[in-house]
């Protein structure tokens, strides 16, 4: 019984990881409040989580802000591109669903395909920015 609740026990390590994840999610939420920094905070989130999985993290807050500063420019540019694409798709969805022309509904399917591909790209690009040093191209 002592091994379970000791400082080196499984329960303590589990609750320690869970509290680190709560702190990390709060940092992500606070740093994402200005929509401009959503890309950089998401990249920092992925960076710290990947370090946590590999057991390489030391301090959650320090690692988060270090990755935030390191990837800010590149992640902000990528997020700006994705935000522009998502905004354009929103306008396309709005006009295709509210047009009085009968062919407007047909445009919904290609826009949905492009939206799904853009969403999948956005799910892939931020972890790639967190792990590798690539150019924006």
43 is a domain residue: yes
| Per-residue pLDDT, 5 | 65
63 is a domain residue: yes
pLDDT values of the chain reduced to their tens digit, one per residue, 137 residues = 566 667 777 777 888 888 889 999 999 999 888 888 888 899 999 889 888 888 877 788 898 899 899 888 888 888 899 999 989 988 887 877 777 776 667 777 888 888 899 889 888 888 888 888 777 66
10 is a domain residue: yes
11 is a domain residue: yes
Q: Tokens 């990837």 label which residue?
A: 71
102 is a domain residue: yes
Provide the domain limits for residue 82.
2-131
6 is a domain residue: yes
CA–CA gap between residue 7 and residue 30 (Å, rounded): 30
Retrieve residue 64's tokens: 């988060």
29 is a domain residue: yes
115 is a domain residue: yes
Q: Tokens 């997020």 label which residue?
A: 79
Q: Are 62 and 20 in contact (CB under 8 A)?
A: no
Number of domains in the chain: 1
CA–CA gap between residue 124 and residue 132 (Å, rounded): 12
Chain length of the chain? 137
| Per-residue pLDDT, 65 | 92
Q: Are 113 and 26 in contact (CB under 8 A)?
A: no
């Amino acid at each position: 019984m002592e091994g379970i609740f000791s400082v080196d026990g499984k329960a303590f390590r589990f609750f320690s990881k869970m509290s680190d994840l709560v702190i990390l999610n709060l940092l992500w939420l606070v740093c994402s409040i200005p929509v401009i920094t959503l890309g950089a905070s998401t990249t920092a989130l992925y960076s710290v989580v990947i370090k946590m999985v590999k057991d390489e993290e030391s301090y959650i807050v320090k690692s988060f802000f270090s990755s935030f500063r390191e990837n800010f420019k590149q992640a902000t540019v990528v997020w700006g591109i994705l935000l522009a694409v998502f905004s354009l798709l929103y306008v396309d969805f709005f006009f295709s669903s509210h047009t009085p022309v009968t062919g407007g509904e047909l445009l919904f399917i290609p826009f949905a395909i492009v939206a799904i591909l853009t969403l999948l790209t956005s799910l892939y690009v931020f972890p790639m920015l967190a792990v590798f040093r690539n150019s924006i191209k």
